Structure 1
Amino acid sequence: MRAIGGLWRWRHNPLRRRTDLVEAWLALAAIVLILAVAPLVGAAVGASAQSALQQSVQDQREARHEVVATVVKKAARNPLLDPDPETSSGRDSHSRVVANWTAPDGTGRHGTVTAAIKSPAPGDHFTIWTDPHGRIVGRPLDGATATTHAVLAGFGAAVLTVGLVEGGRRLIVWRMVLRRYARWDRAWDKAGPDWGRTGAGS
C-alpha cells in the first residue's frame, strides 16, 4: 500500500525526481511479486516435495519389513554408545540386546539390536525393521511425516522467494542512492568555489 501511495504522491509533484518514481515502481513490483509469485513458488516446491516424499514412503514400505525378534540375552554395555550411565534420557525405555529373528526371505538372523523394552529378559519378543535379507534398517517414513516435510519445504521456498525479491529491491535502491549521492557530490564540487560569491548566481 505504501508503494501505491508513493506512486500517487509523486504523480504530479513538482519536486519529483525520476529516481523517486523508480523507487515507488520497484516497491509496487516487489509487492506484486511477493503476493503473486511467492505463493506459487511455495505451492510448486511443496507439491514436488510431496510427490517425491510419498514415492519414498511407498518405496520404503515395499523394501522394509517389520519382523518379530526374540531376546536371547542382554548385550554388554558399550561405553562408546552410553558414556554416562547416570544420565536419563529417551534411551531409558530402550535396551541393547542379543536377539534372534527370521528375515522375510526365511533365513535365520542373530545379532545385537536395540529393543523397545526397558527390562528385557530372555524369551521376550519385540519388533524390528529389516530389509528383505534381514539386515536391520530404520522405520519407514510415514505419510503424515512426509506431508509435514513437504509443507515445510513449500513454506521455506515461499519465504526464500520473499527474501530474494525484497533483497533485490533493496540492492537496486541502494545502488540508486549511491549514484544520487555521487551526483550531489559532483554538483557541490562544481558550485563550491563560487558559493556565496557576488554575481555567482547565488
Structure 2
Amino acid sequence: MRAIIGLWRWRHNPLRRTTDLVEAWLALAALLLVLVAAPLVGAAVGASAQDALQQAVRNQRKDRHQVAATVVKKLTRGPLAPDPETSTARDARSRVTADWTAPDGTPQHGTVIAGLKSPRPGDHFPIWTDLHGRIVGRPLDSATALTHAVLAGFGAAVLSAGLMEGGRRLIVWHMVRRRYARWDQAWDKAGPDWGKAGTGS
C-alpha cells in the first residue's frame, strides 16, 4: 500500500528525483511479487514435496510389515536408562530379547524395544520389519506426509517473500549510498566558501 501511495505522491511533485520514482516503482514491484510470486513458489514446492512424500509412503507401506514379536526375556536397565519413577511415554518402552517370524517366513531372534511397560516372557507386541525380518521404523503415514508438505510449501513461500523484500532493500540501500555520494560531491564543489557574500552562491 505504501508503494502505491508513494507512486501517487511523486507523480507531479516538482521535488521528485528519478531515484524517488525508481524507489516507489521498486516497492510496488516487490509488493506484487510477494503477493503473487511467493504463494506460487510455496504452492509449487508444497506440491512437489507432497508427491515425493506420498511416493515414500507408498514405498514404505510396500517394504515394511508389522509382525507380532514374543518376549523371551526383559533386559536389565543400564546405567543410562530412564528413571522408573517418571511417567513419560518413553518409560512405557522396554528393551527385551524377542522372537518373531519375518514376512518371508524365516524365524528371527534379537534385542528390540517393546511397547510394553512391564514385559514378561510370552507377552506379544507389534514390531515393524522389512521382508527379511530386519527391524525398521514405522512407515510414514499419509497425514504426516501431508503436514510435512504443507510446512515445506509455507516455508518456501515465506523464504521467497523474504528474499524478494531483502533484494528490494539491498537495491534501495545502494541507491541511497549513491545519492549520499552525489551530495558529498556537490558539497565538495561548493567548497568552504558556500554561503559567503560575493561567492556566487
Which TM-score band (shorter chain)?
over 0.9
Unaligned runs of 5+ in 2: none
Return the alpha-carbon distance in structure 2 between the equivalents of residues 11 and 190 of structure 1: 31
State whether structure 2 residue 133 is matched by structure 1 residue 134. Answer: yes
- Higher mean Cα deviation, 187-196 or 176-185? 187-196
Alpha-carbon deviation of 1:199? 2.0
* TM alignment of 1:30-45, pairs within 5 A: 30-45=30-45
Alpha-carbon deviation of 1:85? 5.5
Unaligned runs of 5+ in 1: none
Alpha-carbon deviation of 1:90? 2.3
Identity of aligned residues (%): 78
Return the alpha-carbon distance in structure 2 between the equivalents of residues 200 and 14 of structure 1: 27
Alpha-carbon deviation of 1:75? 1.1
TM norm structure 2: 0.96
Partner of 1:163: 162
* TM alignment of 1:1-202, pairs within 5 A: 1-80=1-80, 82=81, 88-202=87-201
Superposition CA RMSD, Å: 1.2
AA matched with 2:89: G
Q: Deviations over 1:82-136 (max 9, x none)?
A: 2655655322111111110000010000111011100111110000000001000
Return the alpha-carbon distance in structure 1 between the equivalents of residues 97 and 174 of structure 2: 67
Return the alpha-carbon distance in structure 1 between the equivalents of residues 195 and 41 of structure 2: 58
Return the alpha-carbon distance in structure 2 between the equivalents of residues 98 and 166 of structure 1: 57
Return the alpha-carbon distance in structure 1 between the equivalents of residues 72 and 82 of structure 2: 24
Q: How many residues align?
A: 201
Return the alpha-carbon distance in structure 1 between the equivalents of residues 115 and 199 of structure 2: 92
